[in-house]
């Protein structure tokens, strides 16, 4: 697999997030558009560049900048014009820490929004975006701050050492583009489930998008939240859950309109769900290609 061409990606970055966009964004959030070396545009691009060759450090990013790798992004500050930019990574590090998270978040959303039309191919006749949702866990470095924010798990031997962050991401099934993820602690008093994190990210899914989820997301809570967001979903259900909704045994080829009723267990786990709420959709039973006559169950609203 060939590595991406940084120069081509830089040109694409300038196209989807031009300098005037960063200026407007800084004005919107009351953040001074720096006239020094590390403007928000330069900082965001260097953070992207660090991931392209495989997690490069701060010093490597500064060297890339000094060797003209992002020359087109630099402004007419005195140090740039006199070729006096320091090779020490301290200035870049401080600029990264000072850059508001809201600006980084909005730039991320802007890049995905601008790239989707250019990369969208889709299946013939299908014009709506389809996004698959999935979760993962990320072990983090051990530090006092991270342990407090993302408590380690525990087992029969006691508490684990590494903090653990849970993350959920929506990916466009055609282009592979990832929307800005949501994350939170997997353990501790503030632990959040993958379904709750997915709900937080729903607002970033295109209004006409279809959410595609596996059995972990095929629960009433998530189906209801997608329905309330005015989006559609295709979710795999467990056989037991599908039988309960259908009210009968599963038969391959079944395609029936159903009304999924909230259960006492659903409301006990998620008290914010209204009493008597429902999800309307279709329940389909089809054969799993990897198992003879093994049904796979999907629900669409």
Total domain count for the chain? 2
Question: pLDDT above 70 covers what percent of the chain?
Answer: 89
Residue 7 has pLDDT above 50, yes or no: yes
Q: Which domain holds residue 90?
A: 6-104
Same domain, 39 and 127: no
Check if the beta carbon of residue 166 is closer than 8 Å to that of residue 186.
yes
Residue 160 has pLDDT above 70, yes or no: yes
Q: Which residues of 139-161 are buried (b: 16+ CB within 10 A; e: fewer)?
A: eeeeeeebbeebbbeeeeeeeee
Question: What is the predicted pLDDT for the residue at 293?
Answer: 43
d(CA 298, CA 288): 12
Does the residue 135 lie in any domain? yes
Same domain, 54 and 166: no
Which phi and psi (to 5°) does residue 185 adopt?
Answer: -70, 145
Q: Which of 104, 133, 153 is the last residue of a domain?
A: 104
Does the residue 214 lie in any domain? yes
Does the residue 24 lie in any domain? yes
- Mean pLDDT score across all residues of the chain: 87
Does the residue 251 lie in any domain? yes
Residue 201 has pLDDT above 80, yes or no: yes
Same domain, 143 and 215: yes
d(CA 17, CA 14): 5
Same domain, 59 and 173: no
Q: For the residues 147-169, what does the mean pLDDT come to?
A: 90
Check if the beta carbon of residue 257 is closer than 8 Å to that of residue 282.
yes
Same domain, 182 and 92: no
Same domain, 79 and 127: no
In sequence order, the β-bridge partners of residue 278 are 261
Q: Which of 77, 104, 131 is the last residue of a domain?
A: 104
Same domain, 31 and 139: no
Residue 73 has pLDDT above 60, yes or no: yes
Same domain, 161 and 39: no
Does the residue 16 lie in any domain? yes
Give the tokens for residue 193: 């489930």
Same domain, 231 and 130: yes
Residue 290 has pLDDT above 70, yes or no: no
Question: What is the predicted pLDDT for the residue at 217?
Answer: 94
Residue 9 has pLDDT above 70, yes or no: yes
Same domain, 265 and 137: yes
Does the residue 117 lie in any domain? no
Does the residue 165 lie in any domain? yes
Find the range with the poorest average confidence among 69-73, 110-114, 205-209, 258-262.
69-73
Q: Taking the model in full, what pTM does it have?
A: 0.82
Q: Which of 104, 138, 170 is the last residue of a domain?
A: 104
Does the residue 262 lie in any domain? yes
Question: What is the predicted pLDDT for the residue at 159?
Answer: 85
Q: Residue 164 belongs to what H/E stretch?
A: strand 164-172
d(CA 148, CA 151): 6
Q: Which of 218, 193, 210, 204 is nearest to 135 (CA)?
A: 193
Same domain, 99 and 135: no
Q: Which of 112, 94, 83 is nearest to 34 (CA)?
A: 94
Same domain, 69 and 155: no
Give the helix ranges, DSSP H, for 101-207: 101-119, 144-149, 194-201
């Amino acid at each position: 697999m060939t590595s991406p061409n940084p120069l081509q990606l830089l040109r694409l970055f300038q196209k989807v997030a031009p300098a005037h966009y960063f200026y407007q964004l800084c004005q919107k959030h009351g953040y001074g558009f720096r006239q020094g070396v590390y403007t928000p545009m330069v900082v965001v691009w260097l953070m992207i560049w660090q991931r392209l060759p495989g997690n490069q450090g701060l010093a490597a990013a500064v060297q890339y900048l000094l060797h003209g790798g992002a020359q087109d992004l630099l402004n007419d500050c005195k140090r740039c014009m006199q070729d006096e930019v320091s090779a020490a990574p301290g200035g870049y590090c401080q600029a990264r820490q000072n850059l508001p998270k809201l600006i980084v978040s909005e730039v991320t959303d802007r890049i995905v929004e601008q790239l989707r039309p250019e990369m969208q191919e889709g299946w013939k006749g299908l014009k709506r975006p389809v996004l698959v949702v999935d979760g993962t866990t990320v072990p983090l470095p051990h530090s006092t701050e991270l342990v407090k924010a993302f408590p380690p798990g525990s087992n029969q031997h006691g508490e684990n050492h590494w903090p653990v962050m849970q993350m959920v991401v929506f990916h466009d099934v055609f282009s592979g583009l990832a929307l800005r993820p949501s994350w939170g602690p997997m353990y501790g008093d503030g632990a959040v489930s993958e379904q709750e994190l997915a709900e937080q990210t729903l607002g970033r899914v295109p209004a006409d998008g279809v959410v595609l989820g596996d059995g972990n997301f095929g629960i009433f809570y998530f189906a209801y939240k997608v329905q309330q967001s005015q989006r559609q979903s295709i979710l795999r259900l467990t056989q037991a859950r599908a039988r309960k909704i259908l009210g009968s045994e599963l038969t391959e080829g079944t395609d029936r309109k159903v009304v999924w009723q909230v259960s006492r267990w659903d409301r006990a786990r998620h008290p914010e769900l209204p009493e008597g709420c429902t999800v309307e959709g279709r329940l389909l039973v089809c054969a799993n290609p990897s198992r003879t006559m093994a049904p796979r169950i999907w629900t669409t609203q």
